[in-house]
Amino acid sequence: MRSIRARRHPLRRKWFSRPWGVVAIGVAVVAVGVAVFLITGSRPSGPRPLTPDEANRLAITRFLNYQAAGRAVTITVPTASGGLVITGSVDFRAHVGYGVVRGTGRDTSSDGLIQWSATAVSVNPMVETPMAAPATPPDSGWRRRPLSTSGSALDSALLITLSLAGDRPENAELLPQNGATWIGRERVGDLEVDVMAGPAARARPGTAGNVRYWVDADGTMRRVHADVASEPRPVVIDFDARPYVPVQPVPGMR
């Protein structure tokens, strides 16, 4: 696996140069924020427009996932009957994910292994679910079904996870125009990151903020919250420090 770079990504300078006037405005915004912190003793809170630096980092965050090829993930799916947690890996090039699924409440009947693509979900129920999915999936025991594009919080979460990569950076100038905003700063593990609301989906006005991104200083995506129509609580996708294990497809998945 290619590691996520700890330094600033070189594409940011190549793709997203700014006129000096815009850069000066961004510096002024940061200076005002620092002044507020020093005077009041508290951090400025959002939402507010993205600075040029924040827009650049949000613009490359999905591209960095694509460059990494795949990442380890933990997906928390709220449901009316309890909830599901999937721990595994997602291959952003092949558009397939694989891992262990565990439930609470009535959802414990779903415990086992799960693999999914943009069109299908395969589950392998297990009485004793392993802590981690085996690198090589079992040859038998899989039950395959079409992935539902609506009405299922689980399937929505799986599809959203696959969509968190792109083969090119976004247009940083268009993100604020389409509703992307800065919400605040939080800690994810040992890192302090910016929380940003994503822009409206293409051809779907009014959807700005439906997806929120926790992005570090290098543009690396650390956490995502996504609203789904079937649940009042968001799906949570955490990108783990665990090493990424390449996904091997189960029979019939590709």
Question: H helices within the chain, ranges in order?
Answer: 11-15, 20-40, 52-68, 153-162, 174-177
- For residue 123, give the H/E element and its range: strand 120-125
CB 55 within 8 A of CB 78: no
CB 58 within 8 A of CB 215: yes
User: Which range is least confidently modeled, 7-21, 47-61, 78-92, 194-208?
Assistant: 7-21
CB 62 within 8 A of CB 68: no
- Residues 68-115 have pLDDT tens digits of 999 999 999 998 888 999 999 999 999 999 999 999 877 777 799 999
Q: What is the pairing mode between strands 143-146 and 120-125?
A: antiparallel
Helix (H, G, I), strand (E, B) or coil at 254: coil
Give the model's confidence band at 130: pLDDT under 50 very low, under 70 low, under 90 confident, else very high. very high
pLDDT tops 60 at residue 9 = no
Residue 53 per-residue DSSP state: H
- The contacts of residue 253 (CB under 8 Å, 6+ apart) are 96, 115, 117, 120, 122, 144
Task: Report the 10 Å Cβ neighbour count for 174.
Answer: 12
CB 146 within 8 A of CB 120: yes
Give the model's confidence band at 54: pLDDT under 50 very low, under 70 low, under 90 confident, else very high. very high
Mean pLDDT of 28-38: 35
The predicted pLDDT at position 201 comes to 79
Question: Distance between CA 153 and CA 167 in Å, rounded?
Answer: 26
Total H helices, total E strands in the chain = 5, 12
- For residue 18, give the H/E element and its range: none
* 67 vs 209 pLDDT, higher one: 67
Question: Distance between CA 96 and CA 223 in Å, rounded?
Answer: 19
pLDDT tops 60 at residue 205 = yes
Q: Give the relative orientation of helices 52-68 and 20-40 as an angle to the nearest 10 degrees.
A: 100
Cα distances (angstroms) measured from residue 171 to each of 144, 175, 213 = 38, 7, 16
